[in-house]
Amino acid sequence: MRGSMTNAESRDDPDDLPQGALAREAIALAAFDHVVSHAPGFRARGGQREMAAFIAETLSGVKLGDDSVSGEAGPPDRGIAVVQAGTGVGKSAAYAATVIPLALAQQKRVLISTATVALQEQLINKDLPALAALMPQPFAYALAKGRGRYVCRLKLDQLAEGGAQDADLFGEEGAGAASAAAKDDWAQRARQYAQWTIALDQGDWNGDRDRLDEPPDAALWAPVAAERHTCTARHCPAYNSCSYYQARNRLAQAQVIVVNHDLLLATLGLHALPAPSDCYLVLDEAHHLPGVAQGQFTSQMDLMRPGWLDPLPKAFDEVAKAISHRHNLDVAEAARAAKAALGELAHLGMDLLGPAVRELPAEAPPLVHRFDAGVLPPGWAEPLGSLQAHAQGLLKLAEALATQLRANARDNPGEAARSAEHYARIGRFAPRLQSLHETASQWLLMASEGAPPQAKWLQARVDRGLVAMSAHACPLQPGSLLHSHLWQQVRGAVVTSASLVTCGSFDHFLHEAGLAWDAAVATREVQSPFDHAKQGRLVVVQTRADPKDVDGYTREMLDLLLADLRDVKRGALVLFTSRAQMRSAQQLLERGEHARLRERVLAQGEASRTVLLKRHAQRVGDGEASILFGLQSFGEGLDLPGELCEWVFITKLPFASPSDPVGQARAEWLKSKGRDPFSELVVPATGARLLQWTGRALRTETDEATVVCYDARLLRQGYGRRMLQGLPPYRLQRRQAGVTADV
């Protein structure tokens, strides 16, 4: 175990704990031991029980649902177990077999949040059913999905009957889909909607988008997707047959709910999931949490397509008249002023970006302009202030109309259908109005002295021959937002991943996740059961070209890579740091002398990930060599045991893109404080990514694999050696001029 004494470890006197806490700890560990002793084919894993015991100890005294417990409290009233579990520990069984019995004993619930669909499916289809079969006390479990994954029955019925003319009722997305479909035979889409209606009526489909035989494209699905802003909930005439609320009812019966990080953060305060203060929260794949939080708290608005504001006055005025709602807002003037402000901001943006945006190729990445220190040039504040004020006025009116419509639907059931239509007509505008108000507010916000500013930037691209420009704003520190929005509500949690320790320390993750100063946090690093030094090698290749010489390094690295790929007899994975780098490798393989090698390569983007992995397994199973080419998404979550991955080739240290505006803004702010952003941010983040990439090599205790990294900075530079401290203890070797030797 690495690290300093934690809060949980410091509780070395059992007499200091309440008897109830000791009893709960005993219950949790006894349940874990019962499960593993009755699991068929189970092999004892010391690390797994270490993790289970640590979780049981940390959570034993927490007080769920106790409003008297402060969100700043430490143990035993609050407990947050932060666990890095090395590959092979079996972390999902360690936390599930411990936390679930702990919750059941108190008649509480468990919320398990993940970052990827793959882990959600593993939990729902494999881990939780197996655990439920072994535990003496039964429990129900369910998967929570966002509202937009379910069909809105009201929309579906009307579009199945009316076709394109009704699409505008349900928002700009629907209208856009209808417009595009008009060229593509809207009647065919209406027939598809009618088929879905029949499938629902006959019980052949439950309204879940993911349960359709053929996943629908966005243009087909958007007009019928359920949305919060257009939903009157129990006041809707289709409520009793609503797929989303039927799923919500199933969640209400479940003791264990599986969700993703996005939905967890998006629904805080909306009562869609158990309150974090009254359940045990498990965050698996927790290294993704800061990035997800940053995305959740980023606001943006479209500057170039304000036409959606044109029908707003008519819609608001007609609905207000229909329900006899009196108000003092000149809706037409407010919409006109908001549109004019957007036009002025677009004009300022085009002046700022210059001719470069007009010459931008359609396939090029977006052009980004970031405002240094979040300070806007003269002339921006006035249109932003106008936009903020008028968007706020329209939002308040929309909320007032929605409130009255809900009351009408409740008090006059016979008018529920008409009220639902009015509600949808108003609700279609709410998300866009919120985007305008939030983004304008963030752009006008000036940081208080000493506090980090907002990252503010413009982004432009060419879309079907037209310039598309958007304004974005994002807080610089996701940790502070997570602390205030999530952790202050949490009483008992497990935070786990295989890559929380970077450069030998939890510090970077704890700071980014908002846990660095939380008194309830206890950390533990549980080592992998693998013998990395015996099972694997990490070979660092010394190139003549410096990696900073992009062209020279890429040419030399690719020559070395292709030579190494000829030694592959079974499965291999090549991880590239950019699409351009991978494309260069593919182009090199097109040459005649590499034709045979090219036949072995399966590159990301040639087919879906599922199809590529199936082909890869088929080839290796047939005794052939198969080589996967991939980018960052292939560096995490791929489980390729045994011969499926005997080699991992890393083309370069996986630093984040230097063009990321949020990263640039954070670096700028740290520099202004005399701090080193490269050391504080870049190196730990790259170390975490490298840990994931090298972790693709060994997946079981019988695997043998070699990791080859062509970036000698890993050994040559001090920051590279810092990254090495956080990697598994592979046998370390250096290759120079074709000669390989131990380091």
Question: Would you list which residues are annotated within the binding site for [4Fe-4S] cluster?
Answer: 152, 231, 236, 242
What DSSP character marks residue 359? T
Annotated binding residues, written as ranges, equal 152, 231, 236, 242
**Which structure tokens are listed for 648?**
């991992």
114 — phi, psi (to 5°)? -125, 170
Strand duo 466-474 + 455-463: pairing: antiparallel
- Tell me the HSE value of 149 on the side-chain side, using a 13 A CA sphere: 13
What DSSP character marks residue 270? T
Q: Which of 248, 296, 288 is nearest to 114 (CA)?
A: 288
**Which structure tokens are listed for 207?**
């309204």
Rounded to whole angstroms, how far apart are CA atoms 211 and 97? 29
**Which structure tokens are listed for 464?**
């079907």
Long-range Cβ contacts of 442-449 (<8 Å, 24+ apart): 442/299, 442/473, 443/376, 443/380, 443/384, 443/471, 443/473, 444/381, 444/384, 444/385, 444/388, 446/374, 447/374
Scanning the structure block, which residue is given the tokens 């370390």? 732
Scanning the structure block, which residue is given the tokens 């079907």? 464
Scanning the structure block, which residue is given the tokens 């410091």? 10
Contact 208, 150 (CB under 8 A): yes
Contact 720, 713 (CB under 8 A): yes
Q: Using only the alpha carbons of the chain, give its radius of gyration.
A: 28
Q: Which of 231, 277, 292 is nearest to 67 (CA)?
A: 277
Rounded to whole angstroms, how far apart are CA atoms 101 and 87? 25
Strand duo 521-526 + 647-650: pairing: unpaired
Contact 159, 183 (CB under 8 A): no
Q: Element (H or E) spanning 388, and its range?
A: helix 381-411
SS3 readout for 223-253 = HHECCHHHCCHHHCCCHHHCHHHHHHHHHHH
User: For the residues of 143-187, what is the DSSP string, one character each?
Assistant: E---GGGBB-HHHHHHHHHHGGGGGGGG-HHHHHHHHHHHTT-HH
Rounded to whole angstroms, how far apart are CA atoms 3 and 502? 12
Contact 199, 205 (CB under 8 A): yes
3-state secondary structure of 219: helix
